[in-house]
Amino acid sequence: MSPRGVIVLGSSPIGTAIGEGFAETGDVPYCIARDRPPPDVFAGWSEADCAQPDAARGAVREAVASLPSLDVLVLAAASMPVASAAETSDEQWDQAIRDSLTSAFNVVRECLPRLTQGGSIVAVGSTNSFLSAPGLAAYAAAKAGLDGLIRQVALDYGRLGIRANVVAPALVSNGESGPAAEGYPLGRVGHPRDVASAVVFLASASASFITGVTVPVDGGLSIASPAAYLSPRLRARFPRRRGGRLGEWEDRNEADEEASR
């Protein structure tokens, strides 16, 4: 199978991990970003602020000229201003929409006519598009808009053999999970590689009948009721390991004691 050409928009740790993931499968990743990506990850890169239509157009042309073909587009650029709706400035709103949504739209528009039959678009969204966290009004709106854009592309271009999907990470960190891990059923927050693996899968032939969906890559965060972690009595119901074996609490008295703390 010939190597596929992959454009990755964004050079963040997530974007970089995505480039590494595609390179490991034998594909040829190319980065478009405002900031230079780490060396030796991508086959090439173009510096561009893709919120500007002309810049997006030029960067996509540079990328396509250096790739064997354009088979996969990954949208992984974003910014996250922190402010409530009443406190969000015009500049913060514009920044979030430009970096997460407008840049994605401009690059999608340029890439669609160039994608091969069977091509794939994968956007890195966020659980914040459907789960609310304090102080992320602009970011949540931009990511929700990205979800809508990708669903529309999946519908409009499916008959042309193009698939489009979203992965929705929760908290992603290169370091230790810390106290935030307590709210995740898997007991840790995400790593950039977790997101990259999901992106590579959705762009692969193994996902050839998957399109128009948003896949949470969140360690189970989006399935968990906050009460499961906030209520001591409910926390006491979680199974835990005993001597290396998975089992329920040894006896009800211990669970009751734990629940009362």
Q: Which residues are catalytic?
A: 139, 143
Of 39, 57, 40, the C-alpha closest to 48 is 57
3-state secondary structure (DSSP) of residue 50: coil
Cross-strand partners of 214: 166
Exposed/middle/buried for residue 213 (C-beta within 10 Å: 0-12, 13-18, 19+): middle
3-state SS class at 72:
strand
With beta carbons less than 8 A apart as the criterion, state whether 195 and 14 touch.
Answer: yes
- 52: exposed, middle or buried (Cβ count in 10 Å: 0-12, 13-18, 19+): middle
* End-to-end Cα spacing for the chain: 59
Q: Where are the beta strands (DSSP E) in 90-133?
A: 120-124
The continuous run of DSSP H or E covering 214 comes out as strand 214-217
